[in-house]
Amino acid sequence: MAFSDKLKRFFGMGSALDDDFFDDLADMLVEGDFGAALAFELVDELKRCCGKNGIRDSVAARAVLPELLKEMLQKARPPRLPTAETGKNPRVILLLGVNGVGKTTTAAKLARQLPQQLPGGESKVILAAADTFRAAAIEQLKIHGEQLGIRVIAHNHGGDPAAVVYDALEAAKSGKYAYVIADTAGRMHTKTALVEELKKIDRVAYSKTDGTLEDGRPHRWLVLDATTGSNALVQAETFHEAVELDGVILSKMDSSAKGGIVFQLAAKLRLPVLYICDGEKYENIHPFNADEYIREFLG
């Protein structure tokens, strides 16, 4: 991240910790997608911490930041991750998000990544083309399925997304599958339409698994384009308010993303980031690791 280099240089100068230093730091954090409120909170906390410990220059101040940032990330709820096994009810994962954030690409990446945690590791996923809004979206998922050797359940353009999930669960009945990963439409839903659509999918999932989905309702993961900065927070707020999300996947971290959004998601919405995506290839997805993330963020 180019932004991390900037932070690294800023702290590396060995400047005195005067008002100018803290003002400049707040400005930088805002630029890095921290949002003003959280930037000031972190600066105040750093000031307090440096005062208490007799820290006088930026190099020493940099050393206490990881701990402060970690505390911020710990404000997120512990992630409710799907613990899947074949032979049991498959876990249903819905990928949500606005247009173009990377839902379909992420569905394919997850379809390849998630089963690697299962014994055997081979394809135990069904992809559900529940974005029935655009014909091209269905085709796009089918192509991923072909490339990955993963089964894709699709209906015609304009069909009912819940019916696609129904058929995916029907196909998963053999017990061979551990996950159903559903791509959803990227159009900006009205809140009511989105809530109704997801409620219907929940009902389908419960009915298809005799109400015994072991870890509750389908997982709702929001995909956010990390390069959209604070707008990503607005998207998360809107979706979370409407449908209670379980977590976030940040895409396009390889582009011009600055990364502060992760701290805002945790501190403001208590939303954990589950995966980071850093490219268009299938392997460009990584489970989120707080310590690693903080290290990279600080440069």
Q: In the complex, what is the shortest distance from the CB of residue 122 to ligand GTP, in angstroms, rounded to a whole number?
A: 24
231 binds, among Mg ion, ligand GTP, none (CB under 5 to 8 A by kind): none
Burial (Cβ within 10 Å: 0-12, 13-18, ≥19) of residue 157: middle
Q: Using CA atoms in the order 83, 204, 142, 96, what is the torsion angle rounded to 10 degrees?
A: -70
Q: Exactly one of 137, 150, 204, 205 binds Mg ion (CB under 5 A); which one?
A: 137
- Please give the residues from 156 up to 215 whose contact with ligand GTP meets the rule CB under 6 A: 186
- Please give the residues from 226 up to 255 whose contact with ligand GTP meets the rule CB under 6 A: 251-252, 254-255
Question: Does the footprint of Mg ion cover residue 105 (CB under 5 A)?
Answer: no
For residue 286, which phi and psi values (nearest 5 degrees)?
Answer: -140, 135
Q: What's the gap between Cα 133 and its chain centre? A: 23
Question: Does the footprint of Mg ion cover residue 104 (CB under 5 A)?
Answer: yes
Alpha-carbon distance 213 to 215, whole Å?
Answer: 6
Alpha-carbon distance 284 to 89, whole Å?
Answer: 28
HSE-CB at 209 with a 13 A cutoff on CA atoms is 28
| SS3 assignment, position 88 | coil
Closer residue to ligand GTP (CB): 100 or 120: 100
Question: Does the footprint of ligand GTP cover residue 15 (CB under 6 A)?
Answer: no
Q: In the complex, what is the shortest distance from the CB of residue 100 to ligand GTP, in angstroms, rounded to a whole number?
A: 4
Alpha-carbon distance 66 to 88, whole Å?
Answer: 40
Scanning 110-118, 130-138, 246-254, 276-284 for contacts with Mg ion by CB under 5 A, the matching segment is 130-138
Closer residue to ligand GTP (CB): 26 or 232: 232
Q: In the complex, what is the shortest distance from the CB of residue 279 to ligand GTP, in angstroms, rounded to a whole number?
A: 5
Q: What is the DSSP string of 213-228?
A: -TT-SPEEEEEEEGGG
126 binds, among ligand GTP, Mg ion, none (CB under 5 to 8 A by kind): none
Interface mask toward ligand GTP for 278-297; x: CB under 6 A: xxx---x-------------
Closer residue to ligand GTP (CB): 61 or 181: 181
Q: Exactly one of 14, 51, 100, 175 binds ligand GTP (CB under 6 A); which one?
A: 100
Interface mask toward ligand GTP for 123-142; x: CB under 6 A: --------x-----x-----
What are the start-end ranges of the H helices in 244-278?
261-269
Q: What's the gap between Cα 33 and its chain centre? A: 16
Q: In the complex, what is the shortest distance from the CB of residue 104 to Mg ion, in angstroms, rounded to a whole number?
A: 3
With contacts defined by CB under 6 A, how many residues of the chain interact with ligand GTP? 20
Give residues with Cβ within 8 angstroms of 228, minimum separation 6. 101, 235
Question: Does the footprint of ligand GTP cover residue 256 (CB under 6 A)?
Answer: no
Name residue 285's beta-bridge partners: 277
Alpha-carbon distance 247 to 160, whole Å?
Answer: 25
| SS3 assignment, position 24 | helix
Q: Exactly one of 103, 112, 220, 240 binds ligand GTP (CB under 6 A); which one?
A: 103
Would you tell me which residues interact with Mg ion (CB under 5 A)? Answer: 103-104, 137
